[in-house]
């Protein structure tokens, strides 16, 4: 049974009210947090409700918005401005939702609480491994959409939306990065209108016709992703008269950079690479230009690299996600150093190194 809602929990009641058109007075399976985050507990969400449908569990979080008193200064937005939802395919006879799904939602919420980074429709992220560690699945990443059955609402604590998590495969993530998250989600709707996460499904790109259609759309539209967020990216400039600039990224970052360089620069669009830390030395802006040039932005101290399409193509031909230093004779004074990527588990332990 979900936590009782009353006048002291207007945010909680607002979420319950949004769910009533779907579920009426039906009680979900509700999983509350024993020790709240504010009191030193490990789980940031106050609770998670799971509603059983014919073919899936519909999870809804409580805790990313202001459930009780209004505390933030922004009167227009409740807390982080969203709650998470998740639709996981199940069998009709399954009595309870899997524990890993509840932990997964808490982990995503923990990321938001610890970093301040929010999720919104159109975002995506890799999970660095299977979404469910104890099951065989190709779902290793997620994208985010507006929940198709729960529109944004207003509460006395401010506005909030319901952001649904959708599990995708590694090659689907690559397609999303090269093209567009929400357009790719529309392609998924052909087989799952409510965008269920199905641990057993194959990649959408396993179908040759679908793969060809998405590749054609990607070539035509380019990438809508203006920012590439990576774990390792930093730059240095050395020399007094003849400056030499080195941008260092790990192998995983370079994989995404190659994809985005093609989808952005070759379509006349700017690409911002942001490494962990977000300091000026972790940020490099690549933009189309008539001549190659390197500068430091006066208004932010980050690196600005101007590239003609011809040199962008030369970079694409040579650069690989393999450790080493890459240089281009036609772009003297600029080089990219590729370093190994350490893949860690959810406890921060290194499980493999990609060189």
Instruction: Encode pLDDT of 208-250 as tens digits.
Output: 999 999 999 999 999 988 888 888 999 999 887 678 999 999 9
The Cα–Cα gap between 339 and 28 comes to 48
Q: Is the pLDDT of residue 176 over 80?
A: yes
Rg (CA), the chain: 22
Distance of CA 298 to the CA centre of its chain: 30
| Boundaries of every domain in the chain | 10-221, 227-344
Chain segment 12-59, per-residue pLDDT in tens: 999 999 999 999 999 999 999 877 777 677 899 999 999 999 999 999
Per cent of the chain over pLDDT 70 is 95
Share of the chain above pLDDT 90, in %: 76
Residue with tokens 């269920």: 196
Q: Is the pLDDT of residue 290 over 70?
A: yes
pLDDT at 329 over 80: yes
Distances, alpha carbon 99 to alpha carbons 32, 133, 139, 306, 333, in Å: 13, 12, 17, 49, 53
Measured between alpha carbons, how far is residue 238 from residues 243, 330, 333 in Å? 6, 19, 10
Task: Provide the pLDDT for residue 351.
Answer: 66
Pair 272, 227: CB distance under 8 Å: yes
- Contacts of 166 by beta carbon, 8 Å cutoff, 6+ apart: 142, 143, 144, 145, 185, 188, 195, 197
How confident is the model over 83-118, as pLDDT tens digits?
A: 999 999 999 999 999 999 999 999 999 999 988 889
For range 267-283, the mean pLDDT: 91
Confidence at residue 1, expressed as pLDDT on a 0 to 100 scale: 41
To the question of domain 227-344 being in CATH 3.40.30.160, the answer is: no
* pLDDT tens, residue by residue, 110-151: 999 988 889 999 999 888 889 998 899 999 999 999 999 999
Q: What average pLDDT does the segment 306-323 reach?
A: 95
Q: Inform me whether the pLDDT recorded for 6 exceeds 60.
A: no
Q: What crossing angle do the helices spanning 170-178 and 181-188 adopt, rounded to 10°? A: 130
Max mean pLDDT range (2-16, 79-93, 329-343)? 79-93
């Amino acid at each position: 049974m979900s936590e009782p809602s009353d006048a002291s929990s207007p945010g909680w009641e607002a979420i319950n009210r949004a769910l009533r058109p779907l579920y009426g007075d039906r009680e979900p399976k509700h999983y509350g947090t024993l020790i709240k985050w504010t009191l030193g507990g490990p789980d940031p969400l106050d609770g998670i409700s799971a509603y059983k449908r014919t073919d899936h569990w519909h999870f809804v979080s409580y805790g990313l918005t202001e459930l009780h008193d209004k505390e933030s200064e922004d009167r227009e937005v409740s807390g982080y401005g969203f709650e998470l939802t998740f639709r996981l395919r199940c069998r009709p006879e399954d009595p309870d939702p899997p524990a890993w799904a509840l932990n997964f939602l808490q982990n995503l919420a923990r990321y938001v609480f610890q970093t301040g980074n929010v999720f919104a429709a159109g975002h995506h992220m890799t999970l660095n491994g299977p979404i469910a560690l104890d099951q065989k699945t190709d779902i290793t990443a997620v994208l985010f959409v507006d929940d198709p059955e729960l529109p944004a609402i207003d509460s006395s604590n401010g506005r909030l939306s319901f952001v649904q998590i959708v599990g995708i495969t590694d090659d689907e993530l690559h397609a999303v990065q090269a093209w567009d998250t929400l357009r790719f989600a529309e392609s998924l709707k052909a087989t799952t209108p409510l965008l269920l996460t199905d641990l057993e499904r194959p990649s959408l790109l396993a179908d040759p016709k679908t793969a060809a259609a998405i590749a054609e759309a990607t070539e035509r539209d380019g990438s809508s992703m203006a920012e590439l967020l990576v774990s390792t990216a930093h730059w240095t400039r050395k020399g007094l008269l003849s400056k030499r600039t080195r941008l260092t990224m790990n192998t995983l970052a370079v994989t995404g950079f190659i994809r985005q360089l093609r989808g952005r620069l070759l379509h006349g669009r700017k690409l911002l690479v942001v490494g962990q830390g977000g300091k000026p030395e972790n940020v490099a802006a690549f933009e189309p230009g008539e001549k190659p040039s390197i500068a430091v932005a006066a208004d932010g101290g980050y690196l600005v690299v101007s590239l003609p399409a011809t040199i962008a193509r030369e970079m694409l031909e040579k650069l690989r996600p393999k450790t080493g230093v890459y240089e281009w004779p036609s772009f003297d004074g600029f080089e990219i150093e590729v370093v190994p990527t350490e893949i860690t588990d959810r406890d921060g332990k290194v499980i493999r190194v990609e060189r």
